[in-house]
A and B are shown apart, each in its own frame.
Chain A
């Protein structure tokens, strides 16, 4: 069974801090994703990566960056945390698209980040 592990379940940071959210998957998946989940807004895609050293912006990349130095690890970075980045952050992975992006995503348990 695929395991996607997010390093922290809960995190509290101060405004202006640089924040690292780590995600590791154990199934050698090429594709990895970062979403944030907010009530009434569903999941919104921040960044994704189709392979090592590759990254693509999602729908809401502002204020975030990512790093994919190894296939199994995809890090989300908040360069200077702000209160509007308080949210639940979800990491996901997926095997290569193959024929048409039909493979489902496997999600981690999420990191609830509070910025004060």
Chain B
């Protein structure tokens, strides 16, 4: 079945630690990949997206993600997290094989300790 999987459900880090959140998808066809963030009490916001070109995508607030087509992955990274990065992170995919519906992973809650 077509799906989006985020492997880490809850991550706890200290400030300045490096972050990597995993995301794998199982769609065929041409894919567009997104990472969204939801800060406590706020609406979902786009962090970054990939649709073509350089597989290493840079987003807001120092986040980046790498699209590895052979691994069907789009992992999110940040070299040094801050307390303000505490939030829930969602990976999402649209595909030419699913009529453009945006399908989300289960989400990863990141808690950064000061």
Contacts and interface: CB of A to CB of B under 8 A. Distances in A.
Interface of A: 31, 33, 35, 40-45, 48, 56, 58-59, 90, 92, 94, 97, 100-102, 104-105, 107-110
B106 to A, nearest CB: 4
B9 interface: yes
Contacts of A40: 9, 106-107
Given A101-B32, A101-B94, A45 B46 contact: no
Contacts of A105: 44, 46, 102
Interface string B26-37: 000010101000
Contacts of B92: 43
A110 B45 CA distance: 13
Of B46, B94, B95, B96, most A-chain CB atoms within 10 Å: B94
* Contact count band on B: 20 to 34
B102 to A, nearest CB: 6
Given A42-B105, A43-B44, A105-B102, 10 more contacts: A40-B9, A42-B107, A45-B102, A90-B43, A97-B100, A101-B96, A102-B49, A102-B52, A104-B34, A107-B43
- Interface SS, B side: loop
- Interface centre among A35, A107, A109, by most B CB within 10 Å? A107
B102 A42 contact: no
B13 interface: no
A41 B43 CA distance: 17
Interface string B92-104: 1011100111111
Interface string B78-113: 000000000000101011100111111111000000
